[in-house]
């Protein structure tokens, strides 16, 4: 595995101060699953009655923990719940052995914490296809249970990192009927691209109460506008997991509250963008804004075609305002487009319109713009009201270095 010593140039200055969320306690430990000298397991225990929602990778080869979580989700929110995550090994493509590992870990979490096994959710992230040494995790569970505290969310964020160059956290506080409710989340991921690693894990907690069925619907809706709008290299992990837990300790029910939805959307978008900012080899953070498409779905198809195009991504890495490649990506996406109605802007610079380069376009201006670290590429299809925004990073030598190196 390649070691990249540097923190991403796109990283935030520091881990944010996250508010305490009542009803959830964290602990982390160094179990030696694969890494040495760092923590690699986190445990979160949620108080009785906490509503739990989750969305997971749709990969046909998804991991044993993902299959287990999907089977359990949707049970009534009775009793306490727990989340146990390890880094260093994804327990994916490990056959029946992988399922047995999940069962062993789940039973150990239940035994140590008193949480019913049906309410224990696990995740594993790391190398694919190697048996998970679950006994190393099991051996740490009493220690983890004894260490649980409500102030250890940043340590949890660090324990789930694989090739991430920085831990990722975000939060929001909103008032509902005069009562403050808090949202705090953590994520790991360098896009889909960590060498040998399965990738994105996200855990978000709120002290608001929320109907569990409605929470699941809310999470799905907001995922489509946040985590499903980012891409680093178009590769999809076997382990992607996003869970949201509502403990209710704030004493107010947020079900259906619009301000809560907006705040949660903000937290999810912040975490999603931090994943892009930690994209392997990334030197530029790029927002692709698509408007005027025949539908929102078409707009997202165009946006992802641009964001995933190796030619667009290498042009951005080279600070080349190569708008012809944007035209190419729109053309190949399969969604509706009319060459002669297409408008392209780099930042505020009008590049192309009416099926040709804009008469006022000066390449020197666009070349100057491309030297920035945060870029906006805006495409208007001129066909309808459909719109979408997606986020990506550039494709650099760093990506090749990290991913072409032999595992050792």
* Signed CA dihedral, 78, 217, 45, 61: sign only: positive
CB of 355 to a second copy, least distance (A): 4
HSE of 350, CA atoms in CB hemisphere, 13 A: 10
Q: Measured from the CB atom, is 91 or 274 closer to a second copy?
A: 91
Instruction: State which of positions 177-236 bind a second copy (CB under 8 A).
Output: 192-193, 196, 198, 233-236
- Over the window 282 to 321, marking each residue x when it contacts a second copy by CB under 8 A and - when it does not, the resulting string is --------------------------xxxx--xx-xxxx-
DSSP character for 253?
B
Using alpha carbons, select from 20, 44, 15 the residue that is nearest to residue 182. 20
Instruction: Identify the H or E element spanning 76.
Output: none
Distances (CA, A) of 319 to 61, 325, 369, 399: 37, 13, 8, 17
Name which position in 4, 110, 336, 376 contacts a second copy (CB under 8 A). 336
Minimum distance from CB of 124 to a second copy (Å)?
A: 13
Q: Can you tell me the distance from the alpha carbon of 296 to that of 322, in angstroms, rounded to the nearest whole number?
A: 26
> Is 403 annotated as ligand-binding?
yes
Q: Which of 310, 336, 312, 341 is nearest to 326 (CA)?
A: 312
Instruction: Tell how strand 201-206 and strand 241-246 pair up.
Output: parallel
- Minimum CB distance to a second copy, residue 311 (Å): 5
**For this structure, is 199 an active site residue?**
yes
Which of these is catalytic: 50, 125, 163, 199?
199
Distances in whole angstroms, Cα of residue 192 to Cα of each of 189, 262, 392: 7, 27, 12
Binding segment for a second copy (CB under 8 A), chosen from 3-11, 68-76, 106-114, 121-129, is 121-129
Q: Using CB under 8 A, which of 61, 149, 173, 179 touches a second copy?
A: 61
Q: Tokens standing for 211?
A: 């109907």
x/- mask, a second copy, residues 63-92, rule CB under 8 A, reads -----------------------------x
The catalytic residues are 199
Contacts with a second copy by CB under 8 A lie at: 57, 59-62, 92-97, 127-130, 192-193, 196, 198, 233-238, 308-311, 314-315, 317-320, 322-325, 327-333, 336-340, 342, 352, 354-357, 367, 395-397, 399-400, 403-407
């Amino acid at each position: 595995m390649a070691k990249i010593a540097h923190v991403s140039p796109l990283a935030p200055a520091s881990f944010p101060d996250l508010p305490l969320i009542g009803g959830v306690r964290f602990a982390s430990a160094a179990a030696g699953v694969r890494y040495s000298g760092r923590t690699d397991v986190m445990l979160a225990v949620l108080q009785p009655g906490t509503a739990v929602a989750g969305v997971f990778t749709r990969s046909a080869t998804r991991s044993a923990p993902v299959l287990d979580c999907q089977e359990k989700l949707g049970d009534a929110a009775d009793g306490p719940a727990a989340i146990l995550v390890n880094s260093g090994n994804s327990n994916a493509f490990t056959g029946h052995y992988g399922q047995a590992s999940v069962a062993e870990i789940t039973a150990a979490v239940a035994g140590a914490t008193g949480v019913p096994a049906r309410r224990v959710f696990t995740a594993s992230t790391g190398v694919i296809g190697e048996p998970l040494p679950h006994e190393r995790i099991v051996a740490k569970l009493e220690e983890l249970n004894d260490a649980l505290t409500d102030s250890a969310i940043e340590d949890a964020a660090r324990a789930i990192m694989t090739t991430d160059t920085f831990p990722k956290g975000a939060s929001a506080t909103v008032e509902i009927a005069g009562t403050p409710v808090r949202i705090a989340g953590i994520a790991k991921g360098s896009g889909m691209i960590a060498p040998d690693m399965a990738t994105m894990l996200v855990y978000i907690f709120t002290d608001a109460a929320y109907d569990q069925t409605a929470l699941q619907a809310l999470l799905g809706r907001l995922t489509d506008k946040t985590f499903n709008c980012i891409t680093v290299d178009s590769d999809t992990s076997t382990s992607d997991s996003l869970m949201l837990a509502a403990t209710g300790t704030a004493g107010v029910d947020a079900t259906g509250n619009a301000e809560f939805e907006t705040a949660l959307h903000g937290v999810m978008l912040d975490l999603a963008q931090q994943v892009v900012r930690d994209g392997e080899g990334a030197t530029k953070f790029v927002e692709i804004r698509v408007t005027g498409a025949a539908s929102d779905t078409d707009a997202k198809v165009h946006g992802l075609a641009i964001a995933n195009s190796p030619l667009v991504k290498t042009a951005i890495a080279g600070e080349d305002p190569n708008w012809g490649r944007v035209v190419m990506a729109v053309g190949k996406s399969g969604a509706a487009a009319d060459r002669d109605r297409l408008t392209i802007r780099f930042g505020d610079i009008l590049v192309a319109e009416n099926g040709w380069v804009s008469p006022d376009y000066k390449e020197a201006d666009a070349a100057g713009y491309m030297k920035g670290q945060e870029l906006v590429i805006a495409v208007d299809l001129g066909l309808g009201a459909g719109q979408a925004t997606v986020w990506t990073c550039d494709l650099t030598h760093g990506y090749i270095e990290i991913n072409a190196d032999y595992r050792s």
